[in-house]
């Protein structure tokens, strides 16, 4: 996986610490844990800052706190010069307690409660206006306290993005942002309210975006609105907030567990045409037989074919890789900044709000296998991790790469990796070619830093998992697991 998550002698290491040190073999009843790499978080921040520092316009890098709100992680962002974008009053309260500078904090949200708006106004936080009623709420709050507020107007640019419908936020029909039907009404109110100062615009298209061109399109639209509003007399305008949403390469290592059985029929047909180009190689048929009988993964197949092709048929191997159709490459932070650069004038202060691309690839969920079972033509690998810890596959049909984190000698088989929660939708991954593990074998679910711990739950009275930070060769618990007492404490009989 990432350089901070690598295998040594078949054992997964996070930086310089092996998973067997984090969960020793003797701890057979250990619950799943999230394990973070501090150096990966810092590297992600530096990648953004390195590219932003090349630009002529001022900028602020705001980590989207909803991706992961662990205070120890927030402290890393603070120490590395980031601010925060917040979506609730308690997120704001946490940011204040951690002493983040308030002038760069942004409170977003389509349904703010009055107390949340009050808290933002009292602390001079930038407030995103999301609707007519939200604007009226903010006006009333300022008048009650007789305190002015700096506000951003969240515009809905009505741009289509190719992501799951649950994470689209910048298209007409979304619950977020002000679209053109009420835009003039909002602008008129802002022109007449002395306690509100419009200082910029905000836009956010969605999440897991793999095409920076759509973010560039949004930046272009928002920049035109920005200039028009300044021309109409909004002289305090300085910020353009392009939101976040850049995805990470969740499928980067998919070929390692992809088997012939799981390839779409349309792709199989195209692959057969490429296979015909290889028929002259004596070893090809035996390798192909192993692949089609699901004994080896797609990556092993490509590696073996590459070995027999050497120099003469490298293009054929490239054709196979493309035909398999795995999305292993994502735009980088540099790609994103370069795409929007033409639309950000030098007198504009850019705010960018990544969450996933700062923290997503900085953690794994480490769990244990409980056993294997068969049902019809399905094979299940049952682990003690579940949808409670990684809900994205159940919620969005999202992909997380999964590998055994220590050596296993059992035969390879196509498994659905499922948890113990009493729901048929409790799965972490489907149709993965893995070696059959021994009982209590460690297993890693990758790229769980964003929207996993922050979306975890206690369904079936399962305790929320502990969180561990690895920094080079040191290991620190940054959140202990829930106890039974934690779960019962809020109840009254």
Q: Six-digit token pair at 320?
A: 């196979």
Residues 340 and 196 in one domain: yes
In this structure, what CATH number is given to the domain that contains residue 200? 3.20.20.10
Q: Is residue 156 part of a domain?
A: yes
Counting Cα atoms < 13 Å in the Cβ hemisphere of 457 gives 11
Q: Collect all residues with Cβ–Cβ distance below 8 Å to 300 and sequence separation of at least 6.
A: none
Residues 55 and 158 in one domain: yes
Counting Cα atoms < 13 Å in the Cβ hemisphere of 316 gives 24
- Within 10 angstroms of residue 192's Cβ, the number of other Cβ atoms is 9
Q: What phi and psi, each to the nearest 5 degrees, are found at residue 443?
A: -135, 140
Q: Is residue 29 part of a domain?
A: yes
How far is it, in rounded angstroms, from Cα 402 to Cα 409?
Answer: 17
Q: Six-digit token pair at 337?
A: 């900044």
Cβ(94)–Cβ(71) below 8 Å: yes
Residues 88 and 206 in one domain: yes
What's the total number of domains in the chain?
Answer: 3
3 CA to centre of own chain: 18
Determine the straight-line distance between the first and last CA of the chain, rounded to whole angstroms: 49
Residues 372 and 354 in one domain: no
Q: Is residue 372 part of a domain?
A: yes
Residues 372 and 423 in one domain: yes
How big is the chain by its Cα radius of gyration, in Å? 25
In this structure, what CATH number is given to the domain that contains residue 25? 2.40.37.10
Cβ(271)–Cβ(381) below 8 Å: no
Q: Is residue 61 part of a domain?
A: yes
- Within 10 angstroms of residue 30's Cβ, the number of other Cβ atoms is 18
How far is it, in rounded angstroms, from Cα 35 to Cα 55?
Answer: 34
Q: Of 324, 345, 379, which residue constitutes the final position of a domain? A: 324
Residues 408 and 450 in one domain: yes
Domain span holding position 280? 259-324
Residues 97 and 245 in one domain: yes
Q: Is residue 254 part of a domain?
A: no
Q: Is residue 397 part of a domain?
A: yes
- Active-site residue list: 422
Residues 395 and 297 in one domain: no
Residues 270 and 177 in one domain: no
Q: Which residues of 301-310 are buried (b: 16+ CB within 10 A; e: fewer)?
A: bbebbbeebe
How far is it, in rounded angstroms, from Cα 340 to Cα 130?
Answer: 23
Q: Of 324, 350, 373, which residue constitutes the final position of a domain? A: 324
Q: Is residue 374 part of a domain?
A: yes
Residues 120 and 51 in one domain: yes
The per-residue pLDDT string of the chain (493 residues; one tens digit each, 9 = 90 and over) reads 468 999 999 999 999 999 999 998 667 778 999 999 999 999 999 999 999 999 999 999 999 999 999 999 999 999 999 999 999 999 999 999 999 999 999 999 999 999 999 999 999 999 999 999 999 999 999 999 999 999 999 998 877 665 555 545 555 667 888 888 888 899 999 999 999 999 999 998 887 888 899 999 999 999 999 999 999 999 999 999 999 999 999 999 999 999 999 888 888 888 888 888 776 677 888 899 999 999 999 999 988 888 877 655 667 777 777 788 766 678 999 999 999 999 999 999 999 999 999 999 999 999 999 999 999 999 999 999 999 999 999 999 999 999 999 999 889 999 999 999 999 999 999 999 999 999 999 999 999 999 999 999 999 999 999 999 999 999 999 999 999 999 999 999 9
Predicted model pTM:
0.94
Q: Is residue 47 part of a domain?
A: yes
Residues 268 and 353 in one domain: no
Residue 206: name the closest of 242, 237, 238 by CA.
242
**pLDDT tens digits, 278-294:** 766 778 888 999 999 99
Q: Collect all residues with Cβ–Cβ distance below 8 Å to 43 and sequence separation of at least 6.
A: 4
Q: Six-digit token pair at 263?
A: 């390839």
**pLDDT tens digits, 18-49:** 999 999 866 777 899 999 999 999 999 999 99
Residues 379 and 476 in one domain: yes
């Amino acid at each position: 996986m990432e350089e901070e998550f690598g295998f040594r002698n078949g054992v997964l290491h996070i930086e310089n610490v092996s998973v067997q040190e984090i969960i020793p073999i003797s701890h057979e009843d250990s619950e799943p844990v999230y394990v973070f790499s501090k150096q990966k978080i810092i590297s992600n921040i530096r990648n953004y800052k390195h590219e932003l520092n090349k630009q002529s316009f001022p900028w602020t890098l705001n980590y989207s706190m909803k991706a992961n709100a662990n205070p120890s992680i927030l402290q890393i962002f603070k120490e590395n010069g980031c601010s925060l974008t917040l979506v609730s009053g308690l997120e704001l309260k946490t940011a204040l307690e951690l002493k983040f500078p308030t002038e760069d904090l942004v409170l977003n949200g389509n349904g703010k409660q009055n107390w949340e708006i009050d808290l933002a106004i009292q602390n001079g936080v930038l407030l995103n206006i999301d609707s007519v009623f939200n604007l009226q709420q903010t006006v009333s709050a300022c008048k009650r306290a007789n305190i002015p507020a700096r506000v951003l107007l969240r515009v809905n640019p009505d741009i289509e993005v190719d992501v799951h419908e649950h994470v689209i936020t910048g298209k007409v029909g979304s619950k977020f942002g002000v679209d053109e039907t009420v835009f003039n009404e909002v602008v008129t109110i802002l022109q007449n309210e002395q306690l509100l100062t419009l200082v910029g615009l905000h836009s956010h298209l969605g999440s897991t975006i793999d095409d920076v061109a759509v973010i560039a399109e949004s930046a272009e639209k928002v920049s035109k609105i920005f200039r028009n509003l300044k021309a109409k007399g909004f002289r305090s305008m300085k910020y353009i907030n392009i939101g976040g949403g850049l995805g990470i390469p969740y499928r980067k290592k998919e070929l390692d567990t992809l088997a012939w059985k799981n390839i779409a029929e349309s792709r199989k047909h195209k692959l057969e045409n490429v296979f015909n180009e290889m028929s002259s190689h004596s070893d090809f048929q035996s390798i192909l037989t192993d692949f089609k009988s699901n004994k080896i993964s797609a990556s092993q197949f490509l590696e073996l074919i590459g070995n027999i092709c050497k120099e003469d048929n490298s293009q054929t191997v490239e054709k196979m890789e493309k035909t398999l159709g795995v999305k292993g490459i994502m735009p980088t932070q540099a790609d994103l900044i370069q795409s929007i650069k033409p639309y950000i004038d030098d007198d504009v202060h850019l705010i960018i709000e990544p969450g996933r691309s700062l923290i997503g690839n900085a953690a794994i969920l480490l769990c244990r296998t409980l056993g294997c079972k068969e049902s019809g033509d399905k094979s299940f690998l049952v682990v003690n991790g579940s949808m409670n810890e990684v809900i994205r596959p159940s919620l969005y049909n999202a992909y997380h790469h999964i590998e055994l984190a220590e050596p296993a000698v059992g035969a390879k088989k196509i498994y659905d990796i499922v948890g113990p929660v009493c729901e048929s939708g409790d799965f972490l991954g489907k149709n993965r070619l893995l070696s059959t593990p021994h009982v209590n074998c460690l297993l890693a679910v990758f790229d769980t830093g964003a929207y996993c711990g922050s979306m975890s739950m206690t369904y079936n009275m399962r305790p929320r998992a502990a969180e561990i930070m690895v920094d080079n060769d040191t290991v620190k618990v940054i959140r202990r697991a829930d106890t039974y007492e934690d779960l019962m404490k809020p109840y009254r009989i």
